[in-house]
Chain A
Amino acid sequence: MTDFAIHTAPFSVLVTNHSNKLTTALAELYPATLITRPNPQLIYDFCLQVQRKWAGWGRPFHVSSGDQHFRMTDSAQLVPVFEWGVNWCVASYQHQFLAIHAAVLERDGKALIMPAPPGSGKSTLCAVLMQEGWRLLSDEMCLVDLTSGAIVPYVRPVSLKNQSLMLLQSWYPQAQIRQITSGTTKGTVGYMLPSTQSWAGMQQTATAAWVIFPQYNAAQQQLTLSKLSQADAFMHLANNSFNYAVLAEQGFNSLSRLTQQIDAYRLEYACIEQALSGLNKLC
């Protein structure tokens, strides 16, 4: 047993762990200061169990939170399943923030929010922007403080998949991409480490300024950047939120305030240079 706690602000997660491999792998992905031994005096936001179960034929590790089953996995895929398990805990159980499925980056105190479904190129664009000097707040989860309306960082390694992994490696050979795992339910998955400034600013909030809905389209001749009405942006953001419905009136008020602050666009692009150029002009 190598239990540990992982403190990626704003959440601390207690992990009951039966895998030495997981401990070693996470040490490659997170700064050493963020992974500690469990402290019985602390109250943790979530508890995640990674337990070896002999009944799991071929996939002996059971990832769960309390009585809630998440997934069975083999040792080779433990890292991505663990990372998805943490996302699942946050999406399912935290409601002190409005949580939107989106990448978030910051420049000059202003946040760029990119909500999008899988396959839209969101994580690729997010990784590229971070390599170009934007501060990463999250590649997966936009957390909105219900009281202040500030965008709260949730800095973790950027999850890259399949072709995106090869592209990022070729564009930015100095980028640190670790724990590449093939054969997962999402194909090959690897993790790009956040930049030094992103880790350093992991408790520094930002003000929402732009919402971009990216869509990669190989057939696109040139970049298309179309402005959305704020009401349309509101509806798209609500549809991309994990807990808008749970928060009800509080969610409506919080999202209304955020929407009032932003300019929203739909971005269709065929190559990353187009997208970068468009975003640099806009933001």
Chain B
Amino acid sequence: MDVALSYAAWLSQQTTDNSTLQATFNDASSVLFSTFDHETHLSGAEAEITEPDVD
């Protein structure tokens, strides 16, 4: 992946990340809700979003 494309992908991930709501309950379990596509997930069921390496 070239640098420009990688940066664009990172920007897109950030937008999605910012539009995700998380509710963490008293028993420490949590759920996520995407205001982008209105999907709800158990917290562990989501792939962790990490910033891509830019070199």
Contact = CB atoms under 8 A, between A and B. Distances in A.
Interface of A: 229-232, 234-235, 238, 245, 248-249, 252-253, 256, 259-260
Q: How large is the interface on B (under 10, 10 to 19, 20 to 34, 35 or more residues)?
A: 10 to 19
B29 A249 contact: no
Nearest to B43: A231
Contacts of B38: 245, 248
> DSSP majority for the A interface?
helix
Interface string B16-55: 0000010101110111010100101011000000000000
Interface of B: 21, 23, 25-27, 29-31, 33, 35, 38, 40, 42-43
B29 A232 contact: yes
A235 B42 contact: yes
A231 B25 contact: yes
Contacts, number: 40
Contacts of B26: 230, 260
A232 B42 contact: yes
Contacts of A230: 25-27, 29
A229 B29 contact: yes
Residue of B26, B40, B42, B43 contacting most chain A CB atoms (<10 Å) = B40
Contacts of B29: 229-232
A14 to B, nearest CB: 33
A253 B40 CA distance: 12
Nearest to A234: B31
Contacts of B35: 248-249
B21 A252 contact: yes
A256 B40 contact: no
Contacts of A249: 21, 33, 35
A248 B35 CA distance: 8
Contacts of B43: 231
A95 B45 CA distance: 29
